[in-house]
Structure 1
Amino acid sequence: MKTWLIPAVLAVAGAAHGAQSCDDLRTQIESKIAAAGVARFTVSVVDANAPASGQVVGSCELGSKKVVYEKGVGEPRPDAGGAPAPSREPMLTECKDGTVSVGGDCRKPQ
């Protein structure tokens, strides 16, 4: 996970304290985490006194509820990160003349 994600989420949660409903805050935090490329996570709203197995990333309803983030649980989200990162391995290509090229270039050297 990106190291700047949690402080960014905490800043959003702190700025939104009391200004939004818990569901709005949860949705906003989920979208920021998904935009950072995290595919499997949950964000839930629980009572402030309830034990939390994840990281507390915000509070709502005047501090009576807390927003908890857990990475690596839940269903993969289709909106997380878009396309996978390109591979850095050389590409193996079969050329029209039957030869094989490593690196994807079938042009003959001049």
Structure 2
Amino acid sequence: MSDSINIEVVYALDQRQELVSLKLPEGATARDAVEASGLLHKYPEIDLEGANKLGVFAKLVKPDTVLRDRDRVEIYRPLIADPKAVRKKRADEGKVMKKGGGSASEEE
């Protein structure tokens, strides 16, 4: 077995995404991958201690999670609005939603 693993680190922005491929030693953590990617320097708004969460293939992980070969570490931006609150507001306003989003009156 080799003593290094291949990892991708992804950070999605409004208009594009940053993807960095890395080779790290076995036993590297999600935090190690983000730090090695250089994205923390390029995007100083990333805050691993607070607002930003990390995931591997769309599953939340802690920064100290040990990675496996070919994992993709995702840096999630904080939500602008709470999806539950938005749905509740729409329901309170009496808007009927169709499956998949958008209002039901748009189906015509």
Q: Same fold by TM (over 0.5)?
A: no
Structure showing the higher strand proportion among its residues: 2
Instruction: Flag the structure with larger Rg.
Output: 1
Higher relative contact order (CA 8 A, sep 6+): 2
Q: What TM-score results when the alignment is normalised by the length of structure 1?
A: 0.31
